[in-house]
Chains A and B, each alone.
Chain A
């Protein structure tokens, strides 16, 4: 068995400079969770099918299980731990709580990151747009009803309605 030499990667993580070592084949979700101890990013499949590992890489919403950690070199990563500022929840987080839009909550970090990305791109999404945007985030518990309502309500709050 070959031992692989680790790579040294420099990134910005949740607004702060961050350097880490990783194996060439290591996926970003693994490094976030197990090297950097940011376990808010979840792994439901590691094959890009569940969305629990959603993070922002620069301006793109990605499944961090489909990104090699080394690809983050020079980029900015935002995880669920970076959502909300100075002890304040982001409106998406507020509204998910208010609408009781989580049961087990394992999908929630991914939904938070994905929904925030949606509302930044499209401040006033229709129900259909919201449903299609979140189609990559599996939730087995809620049937999505309350999640969709919460995200649209968060949009309304952010628009000052």
Chain B
């Protein structure tokens, strides 16, 4: 299995910054997002949601609602197959249907406020909303547990009386609110701490937050007379939607087609479904297309927010800066059903460091809050925030520069992290050095100002992708994939196809097509699209080049081996070596025959039919990414308000295909992390009702909150990828939180580890000083 692949380092198109192919439609308003689709005769679905955080559903009565003129269909959990103990086949990680299906529609119990209970479809949104109020649901209210500590209490009310903690040996006989626990360890923890000169232990709380994509979930579903379902929706993965709708509704996948709209942000939050199965069932029942658009309030209350966590971290180091031991213990909130990324937190929190003695424990806790879902590097920011804050404190305690301290302990090729896979070439040290060399790190700090540094890791996914390429008769190139473009990936696909084909990037037209029109693609997530879907595009383009050479060879009656592909043209070799021609060390022979791509395309009908190539793959060549952030803040000691003065990100992209969109990922992740550290949190009242279900009170960073975000793209090529690509989307959200927290604590002279560092909390910490 070892790879003898050579990684390309000289590029013609890759690494340039062309305008994205879908850009014109986006700046002019023509691009069609989830809610921009309307079908003839469509109905509007409205979802009825639980007013209680925990209750038994005694009955649902639609009779009054059905009397309203214009109401044409209703549904409840009774319309969905019982999940039993079924696993969802082909899902990326093991998912029990009983943890997924009841999020779409509750069965016998509601487990959080705004849990979906029933739905109506009517001829206008207003009629649907009015009718929804007439649906009578009778509840028997049950005691609720609204935070992890309450859920862990010995006598806590249980969410699921069939939940026996997985990961305990021997398996427990009593059900509890802990769904799973895990412990990973290496080395000798006690010996490690005994060897330390300084040991610091802290407990770090990261709040529940939301991905806060600006576009709410939206879909339109229609069913034809034979029961075939056609869904248009905003999603990170149309094939994921197809799978989940099939599993949840019982409609076979072969009868479902999903078209992904343009997507208005996802960050992990649109790698699942909330409304699509409901629209499909209502469409089937009514025989009319059904559109559902979630309100912003519904998005906050009833989609999948992001786990809060409490992590106790203890780290020991020698005076020379060597980390001798790390002990971490995390609890992570999963809300009403098991879905958190606690494993990633436990496995990856210590990944940047070579420390030999590590123990990392985690428990996933069920509470009567919305079921959580993925957010950019799911699970890792929470864990890394805890570790990195303590690492920064340790560096200060032994009087060492925080970047020097990290350099001393940073992993490199061959080191083995807790999760067991030895690192190939990775760029952590390079990122640390880049951060150190950046002017930000030298800038003088004034009164009430402080600097924070943090580094971070994310594993990055590979998974399955397909691509197909077609050539127009005049030499234009269409590239099709099934990976929704969430941050400019079509630009990268065009660049990679242009690179292989040797054609101008403007002649390449990439598209994201529906599930009937392309082979299977896993979702846009796990920072996999440029690597895996891009890999499929590269392979398809290579196949096309071979086909083009074959056509030219046929036209010239020579062997395909006598035809080279140079700058978008077939060139007769006339004895010159292909490598010499490509590298330009030997010129093309005088009189050598040449056919351009357009010339071959024009006569394709006569030389074997249309020019097209397809590639599908399961990418096993992903490689992890590291990133380092430097953050300078000023704290107002009177009000506790924090201003971010300077912010710098260094990140290893392996190879940046379109550097501007790589910078964009770094900047976007940085600002999401800044928001999570300083402002963003879910605030529930005593009844489990979210108090801040809107952008006014759930405040994400706005333009005036921020400075420019400086970026340094580090490129340590991924040795397993033909162009050296690594994922870039997710790791960017891992270092900003600890960088901000350390900066604020340094500026304010506090040890506040209860996030977010909102002004009142920070002021209290300063006053307690």
Provided the pairs A46-B296, A97-B23, A99-B660 are in contact, do residues A138 and B214 lie with their beta carbons within 8 angstroms? yes
> Which of chain A's residues has its CB closest to B710's CB?
A145
**A-B complex: 5 closest residue pairs judged by Cβ atoms:** A40-B29, A106-B264, A143-B671, A100-B660, A143-B667
Shortest CB-to-CB span from B297 to chain A, Å, is 8
| B695 neighbours in A (Cβ, 8 Å) | 44-45, 47, 49-50, 138
A100–B489 Cα distance when bound, in Å, is 12
Other A-B contacts than A39-B36, A45-B296, A103-B661, 9 sampled, CB-CB below 8 A, are: A39-B32, A42-B215, A44-B216, A81-B29, A84-B28, A102-B23, A102-B26, A130-B703, A138-B702
| A40 neighbours in B (Cβ, 8 Å) | 28-30
The reply to whether the CB of A121 lies closer than 8 angstroms to some CB of chain B is no
The reply to whether the CB of A31 lies closer than 8 angstroms to some CB of chain B is no
Shortest CB-to-CB span from A95 to chain B, Å, is 10
A99–B296 Cα distance when bound, in Å, is 29
Partner of A104 from the list B127, B486, B703 (CB cut-off 8 Å) is: B486
A145–B481 Cα distance when bound, in Å, is 30
| A89 neighbours in B (Cβ, 8 Å) | 24, 27-28
A141–B583 Cα distance when bound, in Å, is 40
The reply to whether the CB of A64 lies closer than 8 angstroms to some CB of chain B is no
Which residues in window 653-692 of B have CB below 8 A to A? 658, 660-661, 663-665, 667-672
Provided the pairs A104-B486, A141-B265 are in contact, do residues A97 and B19 lie with their beta carbons within 8 angstroms? yes
| B267 neighbours in A (Cβ, 8 Å) | 140
Count how many chain B residues have C-beta atoms less than 8 Å from C-beta atoms of the other chain.
62
- Enumerate 25 A-B pairs (CB-CB under 8 Å) in ascending A order: A33-B35, A34-B38, A40-B28, A44-B214, A46-B296, A52-B214, A97-B24, A100-B658, A103-B664, A103-B665, A104-B263, A104-B486, A106-B262, A134-B702, A135-B702, A135-B705, A138-B700, A140-B265, A142-B667, A142-B671, A143-B668, A143-B671, A143-B701, A144-B703, A146-B667
A93–B216 Cα distance when bound, in Å, is 24
The reply to whether the CB of A155 lies closer than 8 angstroms to some CB of chain B is no
A1–B362 Cα distance when bound, in Å, is 53
Q: Is the CB of A39 within 8 A of B703?
A: no
The reply to whether the CB of A80 lies closer than 8 angstroms to some CB of chain B is yes
Which residues in window 101-127 of A have CB below 8 A to B? 102-109, 112, 127
Interface centre among B30, B264, B486 (most CB of A within 10 A): B264
The reply to whether the CB of B442 lies closer than 8 angstroms to some CB of chain A is no
Q: Is the CB of B26 within 8 A of A105?
A: yes
Which residues in window 695-714 of B have CB below 8 A to A? 695-696, 700-706, 708-709
The reply to whether the CB of B559 lies closer than 8 angstroms to some CB of chain A is no
> Which of chain A's residues has its CB closest to B673's CB?
A143
Q: Bits for B432-463, please: 1 = Cβ < 8 Å to A, else 0.
A: 00000000000000000000000000000000
Q: Is the CB of A131 within 8 A of B706?
A: yes
A98–B211 Cα distance when bound, in Å, is 27
The reply to whether the CB of B427 lies closer than 8 angstroms to some CB of chain A is no
Q: Is the CB of A106 within 8 A of B23?
A: no
Partner of B694 from the list A39, A49, A139, A144 (CB cut-off 8 Å) is: A49
Q: Bits for B270-306, please: 1 = Cβ < 8 Å to A, else 0.
A: 0000000000000000000000000110000000000
> Which of chain A's residues has its CB closest to B300's CB?
A45
| B669 neighbours in A (Cβ, 8 Å) | 143
| A141 neighbours in B (Cβ, 8 Å) | 265, 487, 664, 668
| A153 neighbours in B (Cβ, 8 Å) | none
A82–B20 Cα distance when bound, in Å, is 22
A132–B704 Cα distance when bound, in Å, is 5
Q: Bits for B15-41, please: 1 = Cβ < 8 Å to A, else 0.
A: 001011011101111111101101000
Shortest CB-to-CB span from A34 to chain B, Å, is 7
Q: Is the CB of A97 within 8 A of B215?
A: no
Partner of B28 from the list A34, A42, A80 (CB cut-off 8 Å) is: A80
Count how many chain A residues have C-beta atoms less than 8 Å from C-beta atoms of the other chain.
59
A5–B227 Cα distance when bound, in Å, is 38
Q: Is the CB of A142 within 8 A of B664?
A: yes
Q: Is the CB of A39 within 8 A of B127?
A: no
Partner of B29 from the list A38, A131, A143 (CB cut-off 8 Å) is: A38
> Which of chain A's residues has its CB closest to B37's CB?
A39
A25–B695 Cα distance when bound, in Å, is 23
> Which of chain A's residues has its CB closest to B30's CB?
A40
Partner of B214 from the list A96, A100, A107, A149 (CB cut-off 8 Å) is: A107
Partner of B212 from the list A39, A140, A146, A147 (CB cut-off 8 Å) is: A140
| A138 neighbours in B (Cβ, 8 Å) | 214, 695, 700, 702
A40–B19 Cα distance when bound, in Å, is 20
| B211 neighbours in A (Cβ, 8 Å) | 140
| A127 neighbours in B (Cβ, 8 Å) | 708
Interface centre among A47, A81, A141, A142 (most CB of B within 10 A): A141
A140–B676 Cα distance when bound, in Å, is 12
| A69 neighbours in B (Cβ, 8 Å) | none
| B701 neighbours in A (Cβ, 8 Å) | 143-144
A84–B29 Cα distance when bound, in Å, is 11
| A137 neighbours in B (Cβ, 8 Å) | 703
The reply to whether the CB of B139 lies closer than 8 angstroms to some CB of chain A is no
Q: Bits for B540-584, please: 1 = Cβ < 8 Å to A, else 0.
A: 000000000000000000000000000000000000000000000
| B212 neighbours in A (Cβ, 8 Å) | 140
A80–B33 Cα distance when bound, in Å, is 15
Shortest CB-to-CB span from B742 to chain A, Å, is 20
A53–B671 Cα distance when bound, in Å, is 23
Q: Is the CB of A112 within 8 A of B708?
A: no
The reply to whether the CB of B108 lies closer than 8 angstroms to some CB of chain A is no
A107–B667 Cα distance when bound, in Å, is 16
Partner of A143 from the list B486, B670, B696 (CB cut-off 8 Å) is: B670
Provided the pairs A140-B700, A143-B668 are in contact, do residues A108 and B26 lie with their beta carbons within 8 angstroms? yes
Provided the pairs A47-B695, A97-B19, A135-B703 are in contact, do residues A1 and B486 lie with their beta carbons within 8 angstroms? no
| B265 neighbours in A (Cβ, 8 Å) | 103-104, 106, 140-141
> Which of chain B's residues has its CB closest to A82's CB?
B29
A131–B707 Cα distance when bound, in Å, is 9
Shortest CB-to-CB span from A115 to chain B, Å, is 11
> Which of chain B's residues has its CB closest to A149's CB?
B708
> Which of chain B's residues has its CB closest to A45's CB?
B296
A52–B216 Cα distance when bound, in Å, is 12
Partner of B68 from the list A1, A105, A132 (CB cut-off 8 Å) is: A1
A146–B709 Cα distance when bound, in Å, is 9
| B694 neighbours in A (Cβ, 8 Å) | 45, 47, 49
| B262 neighbours in A (Cβ, 8 Å) | 104-106
